[in-house]
Chains A and B, each alone.
Chain A
Amino acid sequence: MTEAGAATNGSPNGNLLEAKNLKMHFPIKAGILKRTVGHVKAVDGVDLSVRKGETLGLVGESGCGKSTLARMILRLLEPTDGEVNFEGRDVLKLDRKDMLKVRRDMQIVFQDPYASLNPRMTVGNIIAEPLKTHRIEGDKKKRVQELLEIVGLSPEHYNRYPHEFSGGQRQRIGVARAVALNPKLIICDEPVSALDVSIQAQVVNLLQDLQKEFDLTYVFIAHDLSVVKHISDRVAVMYLGKIVEVADRKTLYAEPRHPYTASLLSAIPIPDPEKERARQRVVLAGDVPSPSNPPSGCSFHTRCPRAREYCKENTPPLEKHEIKSGGPDTGEHRVSCFFPVMEGERIEKSASSSPYHAGG
């Protein structure tokens, strides 16, 4: 990609970010010679696109590779293989100087507001740090105070230290730091998971307001599917280092096609006693397999209530799912499953129905 191409706003197809066949295999070293004896396939071939101005939700259980994927997109981790195209140019091929420029446009909000703010720096210095790193001209103090106001804190908090703030307030500081450089993309890595329920809504609303105000694009990572449903335009579901289903929000939650998505959705308790009593849960048996030794074929077949012999030997590609006639085509719905759940179909309860279920 040429320099000229990078100067335009995004790639021609309207995608701000595109990841192609992204892989992260961490070596497992053993013995005194530290020989590599295997790999943890944390992310194993992910294709992903994020459109300008949208929020892409990324969900999955712990260890499925969500955070690793986020870190690779920002190049905080160097991928084993693949491409990350940001505004049409491959981020992974940039040198230090160009990378620094691109970093202005890509920021991150971390999960733990207690660990991601340096306790020895004042809030003012924390938020001003990106401005210093990128040598932004102008009155830094004024800009920081402005940012504090934007995220709903008082400008007088400038000289305070992180320990003087509550969890929700700290997360606001993290958000202020992320928007300081007017980025185009913000990756939110479980930004509300560590917060109390009454505080979560404050931060979620703040993120939504900022998106409108500054025309931001979000990749929103969470394990809480309700929060993701609330904030996202499109949602991608990950399982064991791969994306198993991606669709726009309404379609994914109303008509999940992948058995994993369907069971994940049915596992979430709803704060409504009557609905809870009426619900039929699909309780998956067993645990997520180890990514160092993923199952053959479809990686979900060990827990899948619909798995057949065929799934054990063949890996399903992430393919476009046919949209039924009648319904409006609201975007791409991709599923990686040989036997997707069809409309109106119920997936059977797991445990005994699956011949392959892993014990435990």
Chain B
Amino acid sequence: MASGDRFCSRRRALQLAFAASAGLILAPRFALADANAVADEIKKLYGDKKATDGKIKLDVPQIAENGLVVPVSIDVESPMSADDYVKAVHVFADGNPLPQVFSFRFTPECGKASASTRMRLAQTQNILCIAEMSNGTLYSAKAEVKVTIGGCGG
């Protein structure tokens, strides 16, 4: 429920998202990434090549239950055959200290281009996903994850 100390501790927990165990003090706020930092990272990987929307299902919760452990799944439409498969998927977060979250590299052995992991999110932010197909084509998808204190009455 939405009570004050929850809020404060959640915000603090989120500030502390990268510093959450005993014996440690709150680090001064680190500069957080932004949409530009994400764009820069993508540029480093693929230059000025354009990505089109589609093919990717980026599955993240609308609202994070715990900013320290946010499930993220991606599923890219592809036959995953020897000559037509998904090579790589990169995921970025524009509100974390560093924009990169992970890069997955698939092979036709996978059968399908689907994988899941868990990430830390410091605050409400956008998650951006780029998929590189075996022919070099790029696709992208975006989703927002809200980090909240909650509020319940039912």
Same complex origin of A and B? no
Residue positions of B touching A, CB distance < 8 A = none
Q: Which residues on A are within 8 Å of B, measured CB to CB?
A: none
